[in-house]
Structure 1
Amino acid sequence: MTNVLNEVMQMFIHDTGFQYITGPMLIMWAICGLLFYLAIKKQYEPLLLLPIAFGALMANLPTRALYDGGWTIDGMFHPTAGLYFFISQGIHLELFPPIIFLGVGALTDFGPLIANPRTLLLGGAAQLGVFATMFCAVAFGIFTLGESASIGIIGGADGPTSIFLANKLAPHLIGPIAVAAYTYMSLVPLIQPPIMRALTTDAERKIRMKSLRKVSKLERIVFPLVVMVLCIMVVPDASALIAMLMLGNVLRESGVVDRLVKACQNEIINVTTIFLGTAVGMTMQAEIFLRPTTLAIIAMGVVAFGLSTVGGVVMAKIMNKLSPNNPVNPLIGSAGVSAVPMAARVSQNVGAEYDPQNYLLMHAMGPNVAGVIGTAVAAGYMISRLSGH
């Protein structure tokens, strides 16, 4: 009787996934729990952290129903078909990030940037963290050029661009890079204000900028077309991101395709967000994620983000030195990172602490949009220079 029970138990264990559970998997369960907490309780970028957490939990379970492949002796599963295999192609075939950009373009008002084009400089200066962190990562000697560039782009605070670049230059690091990028994006209200206050004086924080001029419909339509042509001519490798961003904006500003605009703003971007987050989470297998390099990536990511904030604020201060008669409130420089529109709201909130009647939000949207374009161009340049490294 005992032998029969033992055989039944062995058969049960063999037919279940319990035999594949490892210590690293349990650690990843705890990390997933933290991501669920940040997404649900703290509401830190929940639209993507929640699917990422769910995908990461699935990646650390012996889930065969989602895959069609084979287990290896180390307990890792290698999918060759099945649900996850096909969903993940949205990343590998570079579909999801450009589609997200389509939605961003349809949701974003480019008017403040058109009305005050000098804020392009603030978006460009905010790329400081991207390149400075890239060079630091190379100097450490543990990352290749491609890996270093993928880590540096976290400083742009643009999740889809981070994933797009990592897929090109360091696909094995998509998981930690995406988690770092979206986590720091969600922590914009916590990370940026101390840096903004440290770099500005009380008088600078109270600067009231001139009202933005009204932008005509013709300008709103021509601007994204011209920017697309120029960016693609200069950096062809950024074509997918830039073109889809501008397509979404042209649809928005045309005023004749409301159904398409609403689809881009809602159904298309929402469905893609679910698939993108889940697919990214599924790359976070314990054997890949729990490495010393992951901690290094997360640490360098916050440095990159901080330096990008510094770059935008300092550039605004330089602009004020060069053009004292038309000053820029340096607080909007922090919005040069790509976290649209969260970074612009942070500029508004910090400014309101010192002058409740000072409305910086629309002014901050200029560098915010410029940051999106700047990060995409920076990613395209890195791809063109570093592919194969």
Structure 2
Amino acid sequence: MIQALTDLIRMSGLAHLTYKEIIMIIIACIFLYLAIKKGYEPYLLLPIAFGILLVNLPLAGLMAPPTESEPGGLIYYLYQGTNLGIYPPLIFLCLGAATDFGPLIANPKTLLLGGAAQFGIFAAFFGALALGMTPQEAASVGIIGGADGPTAIYLTTKLANHLLSVIALAAYSYMALVPLIQPPIMRLLTTEKERQTVMKQMRVVSKNERILFPIITTIFVSLVVPSATALVGMLMLGNLIRESGQVPKLTETLQNAMMYTITVILGVTVGAKANGELFLSLITIKIIILGLFAFAVGTAAGVLMGKLMYKLTNGKVNPLIGAAGVSAVPMAARVVQKEGIKYNPSNYLLMHAMGPNVAGVIGSAVAAGVLLAFFG
């Protein structure tokens, strides 16, 4: 009897649990708490955290590759969609179906704000190089500054797969912290008079413009930056499906069921790449610091571009909307709206901020394509 109990314990996961796995299980539980109790990006942080939990339970074998005698673990096969860069473009397809590009079309100048906010990506890229990272690792870390989780995951799987889990968690954590990170930067770089600026109502965008925009954008971006076609093409296809008005059931499916299904699978598989060897290392600290730096610089660059546009238009552009140039849609635009109301209760900036916000989505995808072209 004692021998049987001894054999049972020896074959159990408890006998094979290492201190690093214990730490990772604790970290997974902390992330689950933040997702469930605090509401930090719960749609993705929750499955990522559970993926971390699953992969650090010894002997479960969920990420085990197939062998001659074993078929391989469940998450190993699901992970191939992440590894091959399939899930992020599919999320972009769903995102396109849920995004209104009308504000950007109505005021195309806001594309400059979305472009300026991508400066954080390249600032962090050079910072990562200075800290001794390879160009591929630096590019993957820099893309955190775009505040676009799927883009960060897509580029990292192509360039620095071993950093995937840390970069994904950093990207989504900073996206969740947009309401805390951005306002101090916005207030620091603008005057009260600038923050009170009221922008005039935007013109109505015609249906033809809405339909032509995704087609023209896809052609242009694909010709200039071919490596960005997968992300931008799927984003624009989703938007074209939405704006065509011909397939409402498909639009609804993309916006809801398909989006959430892919997000869960993506999250679990990204979390399953988190092991103690990576998380409990110096490079994790570097990524967290550089990610925050990238996000802060991107926000600042967008606001400074907004100030320039304020000067050039004689006070017709509220520089606060530049902060929405990072592509955390629509959270960054809501932060701009909230800040604007603080200084002028009659100021409605949400739709104006959505222009640079969706421009940031396109901008981060293009930036990822540029980095992939150089270092892929």
Shorter chain as denominator, the TM-score bin is over 0.9
* Within-5 A mapping of 1:187-206: 187-206=177-196
Structure 1 runs (4+) deviating above 2 angstroms are 7-10, 63-71, 79-82
Among 84, 97, 103, the residue aligned to 1:112? 103
| Aligned amino acid, residue 359 of structure 1 | Y
Aligned identity (percent) is 55
Shift in Å at residue 10 of structure 1?
Answer: 2.6
Q: Distance in 2 between matches of 1:64 and 1:28?
A: 15
Amino acid at match of 1:353: K
Give the letter for the 2:304 counterpart: V
Residue 360 (str. 1) matches residue 349 (str. 2): yes
Residue 249 of structure 1 is matched in structure 2 by: 239
- Show the 5 A alignment for 1:323-334: 323-324=313-314, 327-334=316-323
> 1 CA distance for matches of 2:17 and 2:109?
56
1:211 to 172, 193, 201: 201
Shift in alpha-carbon separation, 1:359–1:177, aligned structure 2, 3 A? same
Structure 2 distance, partners of 1:333, 1:120, is 10
Per the TM alignment, residue 80 of structure 1 is displaced from its structure 2 partner at its CA by 7.0
- Determine the C-alpha separation between the residues in 2 that align with 1:311 and 1:53: 32
d(CA) in 2 for partners of 1:165, 1:59: 23
Q: Which runs of 5+ in 1 are unaligned?
A: 72-78
Counterpart mapping for 1:163-174 below 5 A: 163-174=153-164
Which of 310, 314, 319 is equivalent to 2:304? 314
The alignment covers a number of residue pairs equal to 374
- Can you list the C-alpha shifts for 1:150-180, whole angstroms capped at 9, x where unaligned? 0000000000000000011100000100000
Question: In the alignment, what sits opposite 1:22?
Answer: 18
Q: How does 1:20-169 map to 2 (within 5 A)?
A: 20-64=16-60, 66-69=62-65, 81-141=72-132, 143-169=133-159
- Which residue in the other structure is 2:166 paired with? 176
Amino acid paired to 1:175:
S
Per the alignment, residue 377 of structure 1 pairs with: 366
Specify the code of the residue in structure 2 equivalent to 1:136: G
Deviation (angstroms), 1:9: 3.1
- For residues 222-245 of structure 1, the C-alpha deviation after alignment (integer angstroms, 9 at most, x for no partner) is 011111110111111111100110
TM-score after normalising by structure 1: 0.94
Confirm or deny: 8 A CA contact 1:56 1:284 kept in the other structure: yes
- The residue type paired with residue 305 of structure 2 is M
Equivalent position of 1:76 in the other structure? none
TM-score of the pair, normalised by structure 2: 0.97
Matched to 1:131, the amino acid is F
CA contact (8 A) 1:67 1:80 kept: no
Distance (whole Å) between structure 2 residues aligned to residue 273 and residue 23 of structure 1:
30
- Out of 162, 175, 180, the position equivalent to 1:185 is 175
Cα root mean square deviation, aligned: 1.5
1:261 aligns with 251
Question: C-alpha deviations, 1:267-309, integer Å up to 9, x for none?
Answer: 1111000000000100001122211101110111011000000
In 1, Cα distance between the equivalents of 2:202 and 2:66? 60
Is the counterpart of residue 342 in structure 1 residue 369 in structure 2?
no
Offset at residue 63 of structure 1 (A)? 4.6
Paired position in structure 2 for 1:74 = none
| Conserved 8 A contact 2:225-2:366 | yes
8 Å Cα contact 1:238/1:376 also seen in 2: yes
Q: Amino acid of the residue matched to residue 110 of structure 2? A: T
